[in-house]
Amino acid sequence: NAGVTQTPKFQVLKTGQSMTLQCAQDMNHEYMSWYRQDPGMGLRLIHYSVGAGITDQGEVPNGYNVSRSTTEDFPLRLLSAAPSQTSVYFCASRTVASANTEAFFGQGTRLTVV
Amino acid sequence: AQSVTQLGSHVSVSEGALVLLRCNYSSSVPPYLFWYVQYPNQGLQLLLKYTSAATLVKGINGFEAEFKKSETSFHLTKPSAHMSDAAEYFCAVSVGSNTGKLIFGQGTTLQVKP
């Protein structure tokens, strides 16, 4: 059981470049989300989805796009990378059957924008 | 709106000493609360969760947390710290009954000194 898989683990981008962070889960979870982790800021929600075709913005959505065409995949796109997007990104999935279910996290993508 | 606040971004204890990590919540409805742990260069994993069945919740690795409604708190404790407990700890609250959203606190880094 793979759980939540994120790729790549590390990435260096130049300012203005675009890229897609991949996230896949094999638990048939309805809910998927992207967080960024910065020192002293905890995890901040970027975008989330409650099912295929349904996405919504979190706390810090600017500069990021998402789509959800399947239950399994939830890619995060950076259209024009900026140094402020240097961070560690985590994808998480969760069933929405109850508010007390566990969220499962990927191993993270460490992104540096130069 | 539901939120959590972790008091103290950095806590240092000696091996064998009591660990106390503080989390206060803000919620107009009974909250669903979680503690997650992040070991260096890894994703987050669930330590324990509050589900209203009991106010004292036991988790993995000897950790427990007590829900106190009167103090709007859900502090994490462990009677005796091990070196392996050194990690970052996050308190989180579930938003809504079936949205899947989790909002995290700022995180507390636990240092364990020999």
Interchain contact, A92 vs B45, CB within 8 Å: no
The answer, yes or no, to whether residue A1 has pLDDT greater than 70, is no
Interchain contact, A97 vs B98, CB within 8 Å: yes
Q: For A23-63, write each residue's pLDDT tens digit.
A: 999 999 999 999 999 988 899 999 999 999 999 999 999 99
What pLDDT shows up at residue B27? 81
The parts of chain B modelled with pLDDT lower than 70 are 97-98
What mean pLDDT value characterizes chain A?
94
- Mutation target vs A (from B4, B9, B45, B94; most A CBs, 10 A cutoff): B94
A31: contact with B, CB 8 A cutoff: yes
Output the DSSP codes for B34-92: EEEEE-TTS-EEEEEEE-SS-SEEE-GGG-EEEEETTTTEEEEEESS--GGG-EEEEEE
The answer, yes or no, to whether residue A95 has pLDDT greater than 80, is yes
Give the whole-angstrom CA distance, residue B2 versus residue B111: 29
Distance from CA of B22 to the nearest CA of A (A): 15
Measured between CA atoms, the residue of chain B closest to residue A55 is B99
